[in-house]
Amino acid sequence: MLAALVCGAAVFPGLFFGFRKILKHTRTQWSEADVTVVSERLLSAVHGSLATAAGVTVVSSCRDVMTDSHWLVNSFVLFGVPYMVFDIYAMYLSHFHTERSRAGSKAPSGHSLQTVRAFLRKDWMLVLHHAALVFIFTPITLFFRRGLGDFFIGCMFITELSTPFVSIGKILIQLRLDGTKLHKINGLIVLLSFFTCRILLFPFMYWMYGRQFGIPLHRVAFHLPLHCNVGNLVLLAPQVYWFILLLRKAQRLYLRQRRPQVVCDGGEEVACVVALRVAAAVWESRHDGLVVAEDLQAAQEQRLRLASWHHHLE
């Protein structure tokens, strides 16, 4: 078990700093914020892929959902603990460099208690999620299950299936491919995988338990201890919240693409209005922290200048 913990402590920080070094040499036009954010996304994609593979392996090997066991469960939990701890640090670095890019000369010169507080205020739910996995999920999995329920732990691993696609979406935005079919297809995969593996997975686990013991699905919850049902609700609640956020973002992107084009009397497209939309899209995408820092000021100036042209045309 200790070997899995040490391995995770070496692999995930090594991957993160390796990604940063490679991106700095291959994407010289990117800012420190861009490099850090994409490196953190790549790290999340790697962990999500490994977790999904481990989950599929465990679930497919367990015939009895309660008593069958697999060595990969405890090993991967320990392997993933360093990732959860380090990812909080990686998310903080992403937040820190992104805020510095946005603030420009007004940005803090270095790390401080104020920058940490700002990060915790912004990403408190993700930090809480990671901390709960380390301090609650890990001890329960390793010490309090009495060797039961490896099937359900494997199902929890599979919830990470959507993570690589979320990361790919952010990376495509960074590569200025957010208007392509690839980005749209990836967005659809994000919604489907998130809904299937993070929300529908819970009734699936109840159904599998009922199938094992001959209990109808609607009666399974009454045959489980209260703490099991409460724990599942606690895990499900943030997934529903994040899925709603994904739906809202998808709706905004869809409505943006459905906006009618503005044409002049001659029937030709007004070039300045098109440029306005492009500049506005660049300006809005800064909230994802994935725009090259030196482009932000130019995008803002272009947006304001073209907005006045648009108002004049109307």
**Which segment of 206-215, 232-241, 265-274 scores lowest on mean pLDDT?**
265-274
DSSP per residue, 17-83: HHHHHHHHHH-TTS-HHHHHHHHHHHHHHHHHHHHHHHHHHHHHH-SSTTT---HHHHHHHHHHHHH
Let me know whether 162 and 299 are in one domain.
no
Residue-range definition of the domain harbouring residue 38: 2-258
Average pLDDT estimate for 205-215: 95
**Rounded-to-integer distance, Cα 61 and Cα 280, Å:** 51
Query: Among 14, 157, 166, 158, which residue's Cα sits nearest to residue 82?
Result: 14
8 A C-beta contact, residue 86 and residue 13? yes
Residue-level pLDDT at 102 = 82
Is 252 in the same domain as 140? yes
State which of 258, 285, 306 marks the end of a domain. 258
pLDDT given for residue 276 in this prediction: 45
Q: Where are the alpha helices (DSSP H) in 123-200?
A: 124-132, 138-139, 150-158, 162-174, 181-194
Q: Which residues neighbour 240 within 8 Å (Cβ) at sequence distance 6 or greater?
A: 199
Residues 251, 290, single domain; the answer is no
- For residues 204 and 268, membership in a common domain is answered with no
pLDDT of residue 270: 46
Say how far residue 257 (Cα) sits from the centre of its chain.
24
Spatial contact of 171 and 38, defined as CB atoms under 8 Å apart = yes
| pLDDT above 90: residue 55 | yes
- Cα(299)–Cα(302) distance, rounded to whole angstroms? 5
Domain match, 240 and 154 both:
yes
Would you tell me how many other CB atoms lie within 10 Å of the CB of residue 104?
A: 10
In this prediction, residue 260 carries a pLDDT of: 56
Q: Cβ distance 61 to 70 under 8 Å?
A: yes
Could you tell me the pTM of the whole model?
0.79
Domain boundary among 258, 278, 301: 258
Position 67, amino acid: T
Number of H helices, E strands in the chain: 14, 0
Write the pLDDT tens digit of every residue in 60-118. Answer: 999 999 999 999 999 999 999 999 999 999 999 999 998 888 877 666 678 889 999 99
Which of 258, 281, 299 is a domain's end point? Answer: 258
What mean pLDDT is predicted for residues 42-68? Answer: 96
Please say whether the beta carbons of 242 and 194 come within 8 A. Answer: yes
Please give the radius of gyration of the chain, using alpha carbons only, rounded to the nearest integer. 23
In this predicted model, what pLDDT tens digit does every residue of 145-192 receive, in sequence order? 888 999 999 999 999 999 999 999 999 988 888 888 999 999 999 999
Residues 242 and 283 in one domain: no
**Residue 144 sits in the same domain as residue 243:** yes
The two tokens of residue 258 are: 């459905």
Do 91 and 216 share a domain, yes or no? yes
- Asked if 45 and 155 sit in the same domain, the reply is yes
- Both 18 and 139 in one domain: the answer is yes
- pLDDT above 80 (res 310): no
Q: Which residues contact 285 (CB under 8 A, 6 or more apart)?
A: 173, 178, 291
For residues 208 and 192, state if they share a domain.
yes
Q: Are 296 and 286 found together in one domain?
A: yes
Considering its fold, how many domains does the chain have in total? Answer: 2
| Cα gap 146→137, rounded to integer Å | 14
Q: Which two tokens stand for residue 8?
A: 């995770």
* 237-295 pLDDT tens trace: 999 999 999 999 888 877 777 665 444 444 444 444 444 454 444 444 444 443 343 44
